[in-house]
């Protein structure tokens, strides 16, 4: 009789453990879905139309813009057609990135360095809040590097995954 009691307790503990694991997984999936929901519900927009949504103070080269917007999409695992100029690295993109343990922001920083030779400093990060801010910043850096004979701003390679 004592053996049956222990078997029942062990079975009960295993069931409780299984319920906890399944619950955590479901909460994780729900959290990820909640973060992706704003992007999934957006209308997809082609590159040309998306480019016109950006209200740049100075003209931005379409090739550079396209490379940067695709780089952001790749790093944050978002369809480019769903990105918008006002998407915030401290708002909706940060919430999405938190589910990837900050891999999107880290990967974007690495790819900017590798592809364009642009290193983001702490002081730069305060100015870069939105997707548009980042594209304008990179464009300005790219222009400065090219005007001063630097090679770092000339490459538009695809960052290795």
pLDDT score for 141 = 83
In order, the DSSP letters of the chain are -HHHHHHHHHHHHHHHHHHHHHHHHHHHHHHHHHHHHHHHTSPP--HHHHHHH---SS---HHHHHHHHHHHHHHHT--GGG--TT-BTTTHHHHHHHTTTTHHHHHHHHHIIIII-PPPPHHHHHH--BHHHHHHHHHHHHHHHHHTT-STTT--PPPP-
* Closest-CA residue to 78 (of 63, 93, 95): 93
CA–CA gap between residue 97 and residue 111 (Å, rounded): 16
pLDDT score for 78 = 86
Residue 96, class by beta-carbon neighbours within 10 Å (0-12 exposed, 13-18 middle, 19+ buried)? buried
**CATH topology assigned to domain 47-147:** 1.10.1200
pLDDT score for 70 = 93
- Residue-level pLDDT, tens digit, the chain, 161 residues: 455 556 877 888 888 988 888 877 766 655 555 555 667 778 888 888 999 888 887 788 899 899 999 999 998 888 899 999 999 988 888 877 655 555 788 889 898 999 888 888 888 888 899 999 999 999 888 766 664 444 444 344 445 44
CA–CA gap between residue 161 and residue 64 (Å, rounded): 20
Which residues pair with residue 130 across a beta bridge?
A: 88
> Per-domain residue ranges for the chain?
1-41, 47-147
pLDDT score for 124 = 86
Q: Is 101 left (phi over 0), alpha (psi -120 to 50) or beta?
A: left
């Amino acid at each position: 009789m004592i053996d049956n009691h222990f078997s029942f307790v062990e079975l009960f503990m295993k069931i409780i453990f299984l319920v906890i694991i399944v619950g955590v997984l479901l909460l994780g999936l729900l959290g990820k879905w909640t973060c992706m929901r704003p992007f999934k519900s957006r209308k997809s927009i082609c590159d040309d139309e998306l480019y016109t949504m950006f209200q740049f103070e100075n003209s931005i080269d379409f090739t550079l813009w396209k490379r940067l917007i695709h780089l952001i999409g790749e790093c944050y695992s978002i369809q480019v057609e769903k990105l918008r100029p006002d998407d915030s690295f401290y708002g909706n993109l940060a919430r999405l990135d938190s589910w990837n343990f900050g891999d999107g922001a880290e990967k974007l920083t690495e790819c900017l360095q590798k592809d364009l030779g642009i290193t983001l400093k702490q002081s730069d990060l305060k100015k870069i809040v939105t997707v548009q801010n980042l594209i304008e910043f990179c464009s300005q850096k790219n222009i400065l590097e090219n005007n001063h004979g630097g090679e770092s701003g000339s490459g538009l390679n695809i960052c290795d995954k």
